[in-house]
Each structure stands twice: as structure tokens, then as C-alpha cells.
Structure 1
Amino acid sequence: MATVRIVQSTGLDDHATSTQTSTINETTAAASNSNIFVTGNWFASRSSTTGKEWELVDPFTALPSAAGGFCCDQIVVYEPSRDIWIWILQYIAHEDPAQPGVRNNVFRVAVSPGTDPSAFHWWDFAPISLNADWRDMWFDYPDAATSANHLYVTFNAFNAAGHWQRAFVFKFPLDTLRAGTSLGHQWWSTTDHGSLRLTQGATGSMFFASHNSGTTLRVHGWPDNSNTVGWFDVPVSQWSAGPYSAQGPDGKDWLAKRVDSRITGGWVSGTRAGFLWTAAARAGRPMPYTKGAVVDVTTQTLVEEPEIWNQESAYAFPAACPNAQGVIGVSLFMGGGPLHPSHVVGFRDGGDWRLVFTRQSTQGPDTGTWGDYLTCRQYHPETSEWVASGYTLQGGGDRSAVEPQYVHFGIG
């Protein structure tokens, strides 16, 4: 039986984060050789010594300000085919004095060469630059993944009242990102489905999905060499979108307020694309759990519905990525019952999930909030292994006690 091999599991201290942490920490991580880049909701940190030493990269000040200033979502990607680091930052919506009545934010795509991770060039994108009528709109909740030749980025968009307006997918050429020249790009938008989750491991086509109803997924495909986005619907078995609850041994419910059923994990390997999300307890599943659906993108049919569940504790906020051999790695949280919220990594071995803890919290969150997403990526240059992001609470229940976790793991 294959086992999970932890190569490295490192908690980032206050020097690395400047205590700019949160129980809604939204950590992401990428690595290349001895270089590691980790981001959270309010912090970013870099190591060039395989995690022995860390340097704060303050997202509020490391790059020039834009819109209403930085806050809060970030994603980091290392793309080995072009040897570049990609850093995506989200900024606050504001009313531009030069454009009365226009209330937009921007997201930024910043790129640096692998040999100099601090030498960033960047491009900013605002809703009104896409459509002059989108005067009251702001981007939120990003996702990012690469194919053979493109970076894909998704966002939701809201208005000033906080009402969801539409979802976007952007497609950027990797060669142009590396060159730092004028960034010609494509974008696609829908008002039918939000929180589009991209598939890690894409090559010739990017796939992304959202819930179409409680028993249907809508899967989209965007070939690298095409301007057209296609889609198909796939039925899945019944599951529950709430309410969620998972009280830990101290009585604190880490799933009380924030968790929902948005798809948070996606991958593609060969002709199969898979998606994971957090489902609420139901008959036979006494605690919230990770629900999955794997589809064949050629036949457009459901192949299987893998789940990660436990009788006493909940699983939530799954992220996923295939390694170079197509084995699916995961990063997610487990907590409730006898466990405070804890970070878990592992992989799928045939029909079974092999999982291990990387770090366990000492207590639950005071506010009952946790989330919203994690990452799992291939490690480079050893692409049979993965890197993952997570976090726990150490010695307290508020945001100052949050300890981000960087993990490098493989198959034992």
C-alpha cells in the first residue's frame, strides 16, 4: 500500500507573515528548487533557502498601489515551461475622481523570472476596461491555472450593493507574460454560473466547472488554440449544500459561518477532469465531507464520484492537483468532534485516499470563520511530488494565532 511521504512541513512564523494573518487565510503556495513563495489573505512571504529563512513580501507595499489599495485575495503560481513566477493580487473597489460614477477595482497579474523572483512587471485589469457599461462592478474570489501555453484566471464580479453580477475567465499567453510586452488576451463571461473552478494539470485545453443545480455540474472547455468556450452538463448524485456544522472538542464550530458548496478543487489528467467541493452532512455522512465528481471530457459523461469523509470529523475546502504521473494530490482541512481544525494532505491511490496531518490546531476559531481556499501544485523539478498550502491555530483562537503551513509531499 502506498503511503504519504512528507518531505517538508514548515509553519511560517510572525517574521514571515508580520502577523498579517486571518482565520480566512486563503493560503496559496508554489515552489521551484529552493525557492518558495507563499501567500495568504493579507500577507506574502518568500524563501530562497527551502524554507529555512523567510522574507515578508508585503502585498500592500511591494508593488505600487492601484484602485483603492490592495486587499485581499492573492494567488501564486510557478510556471516551469517559461521559468516564471506569477502573482495575482486583488485590489479594493473605489470611485475614480477622474471618472465620476465609476466604481471599479482591479486585479493585477505580476510576473517575475525564475532567476529573480523579486523583479516583477505587471498588468492591471478593471471591469470598465472590458465594457464601458460596467461602471459599478468589482472582481473577487480568484482562481488560476496554466495550460501548455496560457494562464487562465477566473473571478466573480459584484456591484456596490454586494450582489453577484457575473463570472469571468481570462486567458493570457505565457510567452507574453514572460516577455513583459503588451498583453493581448482573451476573456469570456457568463451570468448563468459563478465561482468557476479551473483544472490544474491542463495541457491543450482548460476545463472549468460550477454547480448547475444540486444534481448537475456544468463543465466548460476552452482549447488553447480556440476563441470558443464550450460546455456540457453532467448529472451527479444528490448532496446537501447546508447547513454546515463541525464543533471541535472546545465547542467552537469552525464551519459555523463561512463554508459553502463552491467548487474549490479541480484537476484534469488525460481525458478525465475532476472537481471537489464541501458538502453538508446527510444520511450516511454524519459530518460535512468532500464530495467529488470525475467526468470524461471526451464522452461528456460522469465516471465516478469520489468522496473524503469521516464518522466523527468534517473535511472542508479541498484543493487538488495531478502529479506528472496523473496521481491526484489533495490539500484540505479536517476538524470537528475530537479534532480542532487541522491541515491534511495526501493523494488518491486507486479508489482510496491516503491522507496525513501536517499540523493540528490547538483550538478552534473564536469567530467561527474559516476558509476560503487552499492550493495544491506540482513541485518542481520533481514533478511526481506536490506542494500544498494550509494553516492552523497555535496557542489562541484569533487571527494573531494563525500559523500558515507550507508542505512538500510525495508518495512513500
Structure 2
Amino acid sequence: MSADTAQTATPEESPSSSPTAMRQIIPPDMLERGRCPFDPPPGLRERRGQGAVQPLPLRNGAQAWLVTGFEEARTVLSDPRFSADKMRHRDATSMQPHEVDATTTPEPPATREDGFFVFMDPPEHTRLRRLLTGQFTVRRMKALESRVTEIAVEHIEAMKAAGDEADLVPAFALPLPSLVICELLGVDYADRAEFQEHTSVALDSSADPERRALSGAELYGFMQRLVAHKRDNPADDLLSGLVHDADPPLTDAQLVDVALVLLGAGHETTANQLSLSTFALLENPDQLAALRADPSLIDNAVEELLRHLSIIQLGVNRVTTEPVTLGGVDIPAGATVVIATPEVNRDAQHWPDPDRLDVRRPRTPHLAFGHGVHQCLGQQLARVEMQIGLRELITRLPGLRLAVPAEKIPVRNEMLIFGVHSLPVTWS
């Protein structure tokens, strides 16, 4: 999924805003979904018809600009006048009230020596992006496809062996992308249980802050040891490639940052998309029946679920480096622009009947994976995980259905990446 929204836990905060800080600043009705967990939050829906670019007053006293139009969002994500560099440009959604009207600001770094490439602009972003693109080879992605299938089947069979009911989040949706990341980074089999334990807590924004910070520090240490191991024992994995093929070489700190970004982007987003997509299909039995009747629809279904659910709420921001006119609205330099992905992906000028889930809808571009130079590197792998995960669930668990009423499913309204905390299911 889109790395723009990756929230990684490290001993020091990354340039991104923490979910807790963002929630204190973004109006609640812009983040918390209403009665239907598959629709955009009420605050976004109420703004429909008020323009593709709108002023967005923040709770810290600052003003940002909200983008709800598809074409306008594509412009923000591809125009270099909208910066992703949160170290050099002040993002209003990460300011405390006393910082909003501050007359002095910290001096930005002359050069970036970290590896948080999703929060960089060219040319710094270009170098790291090019290195990573060279590692996402067709051969490697094909090899991972077979492993995704093995992992999915293994976990479904384990669920069946344990009975006829399970919580799909810990039993399937979380371990699938976690183990795929292990394959991608080259985590040894003996270390995967430790890796998953640290990851599950460090990336859980609802966990106790002290416990999450401790797991984040442990995860950072794990990544440091993994990088050191790959220096001495290179293998056929992405991290080994970054350690040994980069010219000039990346520092250990940069390599750890890059690995953490990939982990955050490829773990929590995919896990939530997979569990929420299953929930949506179970609550739309006509769409589930269509998939069962024609499995060839799975690719279409995944694209439609990505568009329809849009689990990235308001976490993709840019800052203008000069005055810009967007959608007929004049935006000053230094302004924070917030992309409302759930509304952008339901732009009625781009999709007919956009609020309807339709697995037969012809494939058209959406922004679930972003756009432009920051478009998600691992989007094809994420698609594979979704396609295989949903296909195996549907075919191997006949009669799959919710084990509790839909209104009892606990949703992640407190998170910037939407989903469900648990999804009890049963089958026959």
C-alpha cells in the first residue's frame, strides 16, 4: 500500500506525524466513520458539492486545504510544487497550537542523511527510490507469489484444523503480509517469531504507548542486527541487495530506515485492507456470490475494494513551496494540503454510482496506491496478497460468514489507517 502513510515506530520519531498527534488536530468527523464502516467519514461526505479543493480548519488553530477531487489529487501527488519533505517544510497537521503562529522555525537540514524516502523530494528521494525499484524485480515478485499462496493456504488450513470459527485478523490477515515482508527482507526462519512479535505491537497504534515504544525500540534493534547480518552473509533478498549494490553505499542507519518504511507500508495497510475487504464482501452477499460464481473476477474485485474502501484516511499530506492555483482555488506558499483519499476515490466525475461496491466494475485508475514519484513501490505485491488471500478464503472456507452481528465488529475509528480490530468468522 501507499508508503506515504507508513507509521513506523523507532527510537526517534520519523518525519511523519504520529496517529495520536494527527487525531488531536484533524476534526473527528473527518476521521471517524459513521454507521456504515465502508463509507467515508460523515465530515467528508457532508463536504460533497462544496468544491474539489476546500479550506480545512484544524483544531490546533491552523488552516489546511482539503482535496476531494480525483484530478486535483493527482496534481498534488505529481506536481513538484507540492513537497513531501516534512523535515524542510512545516506540516500544519503536526504542529502544536503554540507552533502555529511561531515567528521562528527550526533550521531545516542542508542534506538528508536518513532513509525515510517517502518524506523526501527529488533528488534525495530519486536516489533511494531508484535503488529500491531495482530490487523489486519481476523474478523476485514471481517467486513471492508462490510463497503468498503457501502462506495463505497454511494459515487457512490451521484455522480449519482448530474448529469452525476464528478471528480472521490475527489468524490470517496480520500474519500473511508479515511473513511476506520476512521473505522480502530475508529474515531467517528462526527469527520470524521474534520479528512478528515486535512488529505486531510496534505497528499497532491502539497498543499501550509504553509497550509500543518498547516494541519499537526492539524492532529497531532487530533491524540493526539484520542489516549487520546481511553485510556478512548476503543472500537473494531485497535487503542484501540494498546493502551490497548501492553506489555510493547506504549507511546502516539509512538501511534500517528504509526497511522500517517498507515494513510499515507493506504490513499494516495490507492487513487492514484484507480484513476490511473480507468484511465488505460478507456484508454484500451479491458481490460475494458473483465472485464465487466467477473466480476470474478476483482482479477486478481487488481494484474495486481498494477504491471503495480507501483505508488511508487523511494521512497523505503535501506542503506548497510556492503559491499554487488548484481546482480554481488560490493556495499560498507554505500551506498544508491534505488529500481525502476516501472521497477522492469516490469522485462522481470519475466513477458512475461511486458509492456502490461492484466487483464487475471495469478497472480504472484509483489513488489507493498514490500517484507520481511516490506511488507505492510494492503495489503489485500488495495486489497479489489481496488476490490470493481473498481467493483462498472464498474457495477453502465454504459458507464463510460473520460469527457475530456486523454492528459488533470493532472498527479502527481511532486510526489513520482504517480497518477492523477483529473479525470473528465461521464457516460450514
TM-score by length of 1: 0.27
Q: Name which structure has the greater RCO, CA cutoff 8 Å, separation 6+.
A: 2
Q: Which has the larger radius of gyration?
A: 2
